[in-house]
Structure 1
Amino acid sequence: PFLRFRPAVVSKVIHQVLVEHLQNQTYDPEKASKVTADITETIKNKLKELELSRYKYIVNVTLGENRGEAARVGCRCMWDADTDNVAQDIFTNDSLFCVAVAFGVYYY
């Protein structure tokens, strides 16, 4: 059976990963690159566990220091609206913010 990329399910996966990795963390610019790489890889691996055949994943994680200022993260895609989709979650604490976005692109 054809299982679709469902944003609600994927958002929960992303949220769980962000909480696991960041809940008790403070922002450290020396570690930010490794932390984002670890989160990205974990999300990608968790998405593979969903076994959505023929989907390829693109995962983008943005991590920054929470100084009470605004930040905007945006993207644009050209895709098949019938099969492709996107999910995201945002994590913040007193020290940091993290935006994680996962794209599910169906491979024909």
Structure 2
Amino acid sequence: MEGQLSADNLKAHEAHLKESSIQPDSTVVEGATSSSKSSLGAKKMGTPSNKLSLKDRLTLGGHSSMDDKKSDAGSGSKLSSSMNRTRFSRLRTKLKMQSLFGASLSKTGSESGHKPIKSLENTYKVEPEEGTQFSIANAEKIMTNVFEAYLKGRQYDAKKFRLLSKSLADMIKERVKQSGIVRYKIVATVLIVEDCGQSVRLGSRCLWDTTYDNQATVVFKGDGFEAVGSVFATFFA
């Protein structure tokens, strides 16, 4: 009896093992299904994965290139706006200079009327050449002609003569320079005072070489005024 019971128990045990192998454990199946559901949910939520499909790669690459183009376009627009502001400021400065000086400004000096600067070598000359010295008689003649041309027949006017004296001094200086002298620094002054019976004295002192440097003075008497013109010439050795 005991042998039969043990054999029956063995058969029952084997049958139980077969059933367990055919029907898997519910816990294992439930765990597997839950894990698969979680992975599907993660895919639906957009969790990034290590392996991307070709479509995803192309999509991501397209977005990145579009972003790069947008950034390049933004930087280009900023650069163009800064260049426009710089050009506008330069144009505004140029217009201000034109309004102040009343002449058009150009890039080159020749167009604006300025002569190019010439570099000259030293001549080592310590005295003027023959015929290029300062002449007192010639300077006095120039001043007399200027006074007679612009002051003869005029009456004294403090406002007008204040500006006229400066113009006459510049005119005398230019005419003396063009009289044939070379390498001389010319300084010309014109003083016009009202003649009311008063006494007027003018004096000047100069530190120069008396051999080649000299000065000339002319007094012109007009209608109620006197004009005194002086020219000082200094040789540049």
Q: TM-score range by the shorter chain?
A: over 0.9
SS in 1 for 2:158: coil
Letter in 2 for 1:56: K
The correspondence for 2:215, drawn from 63, 73, 86, is 86
Is 2:57 aligned against 1:57?
no
SS in 2 for 1:38: helix
Deviations 1:4-36 (A, max 9, x none): 111111111111111111001111111122110
- Other-structure match for 1:29: 158
- Other-structure match for 2:198: 69
Q: How many residues align?
A: 108
Deviations 1:24-70 (A, max 9, x none): 11111111221101110110111111121101101111111111221
Letter in 2 for 1:44: K
CA contact (8 A) 2:156 2:223 kept: no
- Measure the CA separation in 1 of the matches of 2:141 and 2:177: 14
The correspondence for 1:4, drawn from 121, 133, 143, is 133
- Other-structure match for 1:105: 234
SS in 2 for 1:104: strand
Letter in 2 for 1:38: S
The correspondence for 1:13, drawn from 114, 134, 142, is 142
Letter in 2 for 1:6: S
Gaps of 5+ in 2: 1-128
Letter in 2 for 1:60: T
Q: CA deviation at 1:94?
A: 2.8
- Higher relative strand content: 1
- Higher relative helix content: 2
- Measure the CA separation in 2 of the matches of 1:9 and 1:51: 10
Give TM-score, length-normalised by structure 1: 0.94
RMSD of Structure 2 on Structure 1 (CA):
1.0
- Other-structure match for 2:92: none
CA contact (8 A) 2:153 2:223 kept: no
Letter in 2 for 1:64: V
Work out which of the two has the higher radius of gyration on C-alpha atoms and give 1 or 2.
Answer: 2
Structure number with the bigger relative contact order (C-alpha 8 A, sep ≥ 6) is 1
| Percentage identity across paired residues of the two chains | 28
SS in 1 for 2:192: strand
- Measure the CA separation in 2 of the matches of 1:40 and 1:93: 17
SS in 2 for 1:8: helix
